[in-house]
Amino acid sequence: MKVVQPIRDTRKLQVIKEHLQQTNERDYILLMVGINTGLRISDILPLRVGDVRGTHIDIIEKKTGKRKLIKINRALRAALDHYIVGKSDNAYLFRSRNRKLRTGARDEPITASMAYKMLSGVAQAFGVKEIGTHSMRKTFGYHFYQRERDISLLMDLFNHSEESVTLRYIGIKQDTLDEAIDRHSL
């Protein structure tokens, strides 16, 4: 399994956001939802327009089966308000433009592999490596931890049971180890 990292550099993250905002609004909103909620891609893709009209996103997580209530912050709210104008509450937020190959179904959400192709392609274009759809969740966690320094709150958001798991997941353990080795010169 490929290890993916958070996008640590806020300048690169901003450039990626601006690029997507200008080139593909759906993909921009996908990134914004991922980095502002910390949800897994499996919980993001099935979202419908009606799920994001209020102040919170209320879901049952696919992986854990637990209910999760995520506040929609100001940045995400502004992006969503523009994107959902005139859309039906039942429409998928990340609707595929293509028919499903096997079933011929229309109006389905994009697949996780399509989300991966989009995200990895744009990240690669801007020199970001070790990227995948999980990078959005990790980016949320990394920057949340950097601002709040509250590991227990982040553990609760991610449904992790140990601090070490959360720190390793968001890349803080590796950053700390790298910095310690840099300071340790013989």
CA of residue 34 relative to chain centroid, distance: 2
Residue 60 identity (one-letter amino acid): I
Catalytic positions, written as ranges: 40, 63, 134, 137, 160, 169
Q: 121 is written with which tokens?
A: 């392609």
> Cβ distance 17 to 28 under 8 Å?
yes
Q: 165 is written with which tokens?
A: 């798991």
CA separation for the pair 86, 141 (Å, rounded): 32
Question: Which residues make Cβ contacts (< 8 Å) with residue 41, sequence separation at least 6?
Answer: 34, 112, 115, 133, 134, 136, 137
CA geometry: angle 143, 144, 147, nearest 5 deg:
85
> Cβ distance 41 to 138 under 8 Å?
no
3-class DSSP state for residue 99? coil
> Cβ distance 171 to 142 under 8 Å?
yes
